[in-house]
């Protein structure tokens, strides 16, 4: 089937899906949840085949980690995300503005789904569950296009989701799961029928999509996250936060990639902070001014920072470390080198923290908390379609709200513009909030 035909069917299904009740949409999610749970063993067996193929082809370790559904808690977390989304309040039809234009003429701004979503992803098979849940709950139809590295998992999960939806009110083409043989370029040309593209994968994938479509793209190319440790800091908090931000899931886009340390911190404290990383088997890429402080640490995990060390997303147990003069120097560095994903300041000084929070131009700015909190599930969104570094429409972890737009509904009783000022006569508008 051509990309145009797929997109047309999705667009037709959207017209039917958006008028379903919240109960009907949520019941469909509960059906999907139960079906995926019942078939857990077959899904993980398929996932195992994908992992074996990925390792045989020597794919990047970060890709393999993202592919692995058997990671502790990952599968169960994926399922819980579906239920969490089902239990969220209905995002469709919320009145966000109500204004009386004149007697009997009222204007309402009402939330409405975006339309047809095209999600193109590499590796992460949980995207199938995440996007399906968010799309159906928000009244959007979705076309999901998986990469070849997750083919076996994708095929099994696709069949399960399709069979589950067959017993619901959701139209069959509202969620279309397209296998790798379909032409991505053809789908990216369907700006008449597809309203938003969401890429989930490598920098190369995201950049390629952004440069090859007229359809708006929601996402981020890099996750170059930073932590600045201020002179007025708690060493225990700093070690906990920095180590968690780097080691909890180094392949995640919200893992910290660079550590900026105030130059006025005592050398022994700087050494202890870096030692906490080295003890966690993190390779520290240190700037020249730090070399003397770390010479006694395990040199298997200490290397010189390359010229591009502070413009690099490692997605591994690596981190770039350097001194900065003060918080303003840290802010300047981050705004210059960051990918505008998530940044953190570790300080006990509220004024310094507030300056950082106001000055950093990123989607997420944290004070004394791990960058790994940048996640739709942790934000209480149920799950997420991805993280956006865009500034228009949606930013940061994107949940249901990010998949909504709005419409203006005007309700009158034979009113015409010709009676009013600016339209031909002198009648004035009331413009009162209802």
SS3 letters across 298-354:
CHHHEEECCCCHHHCCCCCCEEEEEEECCHHHHHHHHHHHCCCCEEEEECCCHHHHH
Name the packing angle between helices 350-359 and 327-337 (round to 10°).
Answer: 20
Mean pLDDT, the chain, as a whole number? 94
What burial class does residue 228 get, using C-beta atoms within 10 Å of its C-beta: 0-12 exposed, 13-18 middle, 19+ buried?
Answer: buried
pLDDT category of residue 207 using cuts at 50, 70 and 90: confident
- Distance CA(144)–CA(373), nearest Å, equals 26
Give the 3-state secondary structure of residue 256: strand
pLDDT category of residue 181 using cuts at 50, 70 and 90: low
pLDDT category of residue 95 using cuts at 50, 70 and 90: very high
Q: Residue 303's beta-bridge partner residues?
A: 285
Question: For the segment 382-434, what is each residue's pLDDT rounded down to a tens digit?
Answer: 888 888 988 888 999 999 999 999 999 999 999 999 999 999 999 999 999 99
- Distance CA(126)–CA(301), nearest Å, equals 33
Of residues 188, 96, 195, the one with CA closest to residue 139: 195
Of residues 290, 345, 277, 285, the one with CA closest to residue 314: 285
**Ordered structural domains, the chain, with CATH:** 3-218+385-408 (3.40.605.10), 225-373 (3.40.309.10)
Give the 3-state secondary structure of residue 177: strand
Count other C-beta atoms under 10 Å from residue 179's C-beta. 12
């Amino acid at each position: 089937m051509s990309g145009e035909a797929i997109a047309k069917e999705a667009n037709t299904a959207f017209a039917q899906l958006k008028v379903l009740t919240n109960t009907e949409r949520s019941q469909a999610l509960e059906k999907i949840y139960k079906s995926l749970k019942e078939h857990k063993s077959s899904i993980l067996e398929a996932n195992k085949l994908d992992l074996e193929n990925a390792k045989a082809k020597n794919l990047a370790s970060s890709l393999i980690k993202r592919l692995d559904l058997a990671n502790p808690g990952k599968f169960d977390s994926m399922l819980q995300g579906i239920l969490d989304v089902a239990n969220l309040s209905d995002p469709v039809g919320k009145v966000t503005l109500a204004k009386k234009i004149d007697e009997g003429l009222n204007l309402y701004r009402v939330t409405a789904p975006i339309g047809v979503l095209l999600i193109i992803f590499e590796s992460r098979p949980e995207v199938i569950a995440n996007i399906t849940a968010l799309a159906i709950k928000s009244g959007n139809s979705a076309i999901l296009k998986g990469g070849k590295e997750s083919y076996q998992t994708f095929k099994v999960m696709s069949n399960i989701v399709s069979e589950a939806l067959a017993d619901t009110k959701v139209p069959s083409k509202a969620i279309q799961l397209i296998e790798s043989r379909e032409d991505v370029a053809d789908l990216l040309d369907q700006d008449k029928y597809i309203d938003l593209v969401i890429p989930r994968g490598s920098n190369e994938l995201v950049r390629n999509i952004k440069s090859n479509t007229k359809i708006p793209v929601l996402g981020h190319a890099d996750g170059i996250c930073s932590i600045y440790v201020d002179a007025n800091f708690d060493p225990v908090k700093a070690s906990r936060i920095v180590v968690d931000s780097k080691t909890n899931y180094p392949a995640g886009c919200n893992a910290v990639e660079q550590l900026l340390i105030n130059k006025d911190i005592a050398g022994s404290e700087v050494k202890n902070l870096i030692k906490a990383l080295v003890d966690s088997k993190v390779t520290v890429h240190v700037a020249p001014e730090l070399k003397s402080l770390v010479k006694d640490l395990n040199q298997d995990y200490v290397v010189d920072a390359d010229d591009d060390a502070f413009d690099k997303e490692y997605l591994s147990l690596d981190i770039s470390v350097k001194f900065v003069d003060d918080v303003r120097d840290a802010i300047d560095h981050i705004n210059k080198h960051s990918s505008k994903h998530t940044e953190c300041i570790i300080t006990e000084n509220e004024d310094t923290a507030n300056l950082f929070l106001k000055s950093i131009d990123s989607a997420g700015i944290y004070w004394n908390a791990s960058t790994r909190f940048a996640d739709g599930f942790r934000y209480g969104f149920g799950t997420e379609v991805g993280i956006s570094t865009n500034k228009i429409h949606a930013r940061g972890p994107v949940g249901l709200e990010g998949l909504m737009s709005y419409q203006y509904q005007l309700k009158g009783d034979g009113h015409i513009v010709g009676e009013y000022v600016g339209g031909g006569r002198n009648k004035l508008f009331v413009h009162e909030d209802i």
